Amino acid sequence: MSTPQPSAPGIGELEEQERRLTLRRFTYEDAWTLGSLLTELARERGAPVAIDIRRGAQQLFHCALPGSSADNDAWIDRKRRVVERYAESSFLVGSRFRAKGRTFEDSSRLDHDLYAAHGGSFPVRVAGAGVIGTITVSGLPQADDHALVVEALERFMSTAG
């Protein structure tokens, strides 16, 4: 089943998402709840994705759905490293390079086998603590990976106490 492709958000919208999607806290239980929500959304859509949630270096949640592969785990690692380095979503980082008429791969001076500024990894930002982890999806076009993470965070925040 095909779902409509979201249009790629602009830099201002990406920045606004990151400001708006700041959590009050992020516990192990929150990681499980958010990961389960992401898994449910992906299953409803038949999305062949892998999902990863980390707090610092510790992986708190991982799920690989049918149709995903080990390549998705490699993409997760590359996108996650961008968030860890820049403290912004991988999509925002890549969009900033593209807005300047450059590519991340050619202009960042980082090893593109280790870093990928493609949509799908989002910072776990906690009020008063800054970026403490990452939420990453891989398996769809980059705008769709990013949109899935944003949708799950919005739903999570609307139900979190």
Domain chopping of the chain, boundaries:
11-159
Residue 40 has φ and ψ, to the nearest 5°, of -60, -45
Dihedral, CA atoms, 23, 80, 89, 117, nearest 10 degrees?
180
pLDDT of 70 over the 90 cut: yes
Q: Please give the C-alpha separations between residue 67 and each of 13, 128, 152, in angstroms, as whole numbers.
A: 31, 39, 20
**Residue 50: band (very low, low, confident or very high) from pLDDT cuts 50, 70, 90:** very high
Question: Over pLDDT 90: what percentage of the chain?
Answer: 92
Helix (H) or strand (E) holding 38: helix 28-45
Please check the confidence at residue 2 and state whether its pLDDT lies above 80: no
Residue-averaged pLDDT of the chain:
94
Q: What is the CATH number of domain 11-159?
A: 3.30.450.150
Q: Which of 155, 143, 116, 126 is nearest to 38 (CA)?
A: 155
Q: Report the chain's terminal Cα–Cα distance, integer Å.
A: 34
Q: How far apart are CA 9 and CA 91, in angstroms?
A: 9
Residue 81 DSSP code: H
CA dihedral 122, 18, 37, 49 (to 10 degrees): -30
